[in-house]
Chain A
Amino acid sequence: MFLVPDIVVRFFHRMASPPHYYALTQRLMPWLVTVFVLLTLAGLYGGLYLAPADYQQGDSYRIIYIHVPAAWMSLFIYMVMAIAGAIGLIWRIKLAEIVSISSAPIGASFTFIALFTGSLWGKPMWGTWWVWDARLTSELILLFLYLGVIGLYGAIDDKKIASKAVAILALVGVVNIPIIHYSVEWWNTLHQGPTVTKMDKPSIHVSMLIPLLLMALSFKSYYLIALMQRSRIELLKRERNSQWVKTMILEADK
């Protein structure tokens, strides 16, 4: 065994138990929704009202408060999906498989939002809706990877086999993630270089940066909420014949 503290091992064993996960997520949900609403209100107020206009783009730059967090989430969710898929493959943990497949539609939505808002901004600023530069193309491939994962999972009836196939597809696609991130540095692209996610100091004024980080946290909490809802449904579907689901439904009927 690796040198993992006993308490961590016990935590993962408990989390991997479906009835415990189902009950825990139910208790966490109201707190997460509160955090999400507060973060979103603060982020939007800061971004749309408090933050000053940009010296070149005026108010048009404010689309970064949606575009950039959505783009970050599209990469982050893909990594969660692939790592959960790998855990499911190696340790055969049902919940990891469920987290992996439940992430796919959320990640696809964020990818679509990032592409769509970028296009809306690109028309007035660059002068075009779309160009085939390395950043835009690799992000579009990410959307197709998500859609491929969703399609493959739906196409196989046996969900145990489907989870394995999907995990392998997701893991192969991981190679695209560093390509997306570094595309603006490795090649000449029309898309600008990184503003925040670089080793250097962020090249954005602090009054504009704080709302951006708040929106990023708000999107993260939204992902957690959506992931929990989706995984709970998927869990019930897969475990519909197990004893704990039957007991729970019988108790709810009373």
Chain B
Amino acid sequence: MKPARKQRLILISLMVIGVAIATGFALKSFNENLMYFFSTTDVVAGKAPKGSLFRLGGMVIKGSVERPGDGMMVRFKLTDFSKEVTVEYTGILPDLFREGQGIVAHGKLNAQGVFIAEEVLAKHDENYMPPEVKASLKTKSLSEKGQ
């Protein structure tokens, strides 16, 4: 390679590497702010902000969804498979909201440690399959449990 070209190649590589390192440091220091939601363990450990709005993510525990009044209020429990938080929400739930599904709720904690949600979003997972496959997967895992 001609020296002039080599010099330009080195300059450009240095520029790209420099920008990458700078961005890496910036992202590392803002890491907490880039998290879209807190986990239930964070909330139980008291890491989540008190008295102000934040987002809470987790999986809806099977069998925990109940409607105490006859209004729109729903109460359910969220888990990250280690700690649980109770959530109350009044309003319309998205299509993908169901037991065993991941969700993200926006709201704040009340004095009893119950999360009062103003908005509930369903978090879709990355699995796509036809209903028959899902059904056969379910029977398979059930029969394995039975043995």
Contact = CB atoms under 8 A, between A and B. Distances in A.
Interface of A: 1-2, 52-57, 60-61, 64, 86, 89-91, 124-128, 131-134, 168, 171-172, 174-175, 179, 186-190, 192-195, 203-205, 207-208
Given A124-B94, A125-B94, A203-B127, 19 more contacts: A55-B134, A57-B124, A60-B95, A89-B12, A90-B12, A124-B95, A125-B95, A126-B96, A131-B36, A133-B36, A134-B36, A168-B15, A172-B16, A174-B16, A175-B19, A175-B20, A179-B23, A187-B35, A205-B129
B68 interface: no
Contact of A203 (B97, B119, B128): B128
Contacts of A186: 34
B45 interface: no
A131 B93 CA distance: 17
B34 A64 contact: no
B57 to A, nearest CB: 6
Nearest to B37: A188
Interface string B106-142: 0000000000000111111111111111100000000
A55 to B, nearest CB: 4
Contacts of B27: 179
11 contacts: A2-B1, A52-B130, A52-B132, A55-B129, A55-B131, A57-B124, A188-B57, A190-B36, A190-B121, A203-B127, A205-B129
A187 B34 contact: yes
B87 interface: no
B9 A131 contact: no
A187 B28 CA distance: 11
Interface string B1-28: 1000100110010011001100100010
B74 to A, nearest CB: 13
B42 to A, nearest CB: 10
Contacts of B130: 52-55, 205, 207-208
Contact of A127 (B9, B37, B120, B131): B120
Most chain A beta-carbon contacts within 10 A, residue among B34, B101, B119, B130: B34
A205 B120 CA distance: 29
Given A57-B96, A134-B36, A52 B123 contact: no
A203 B128 CA distance: 6
B15 A171 contact: yes
Nearest to A85: B12
Contact of B123 (A1, A126, A172, A195): A126
A204 B1 contact: no
Top 5 A-B residue pairs of the complex, sorted by shortest distance between their CB atoms: A127-B94, A52-B130, A55-B134, A204-B128, A133-B36
A86 to B, nearest CB: 6
B50 to A, nearest CB: 20
B59 interface: no
Contact of A171 (B12, B57, B94, B96): B12
B25 to A, nearest CB: 12
A160 to B, nearest CB: 15
B57 A175 contact: no
A80 to B, nearest CB: 16
Contact of B133 (A60, A192, A194, A205): A205
B123 A192 contact: yes
Contacts of A195: 126-128
Contacts of A131: 36, 121
Contacts of B126: 192-195, 203
A13 to B, nearest CB: 15
A174 B8 CA distance: 18
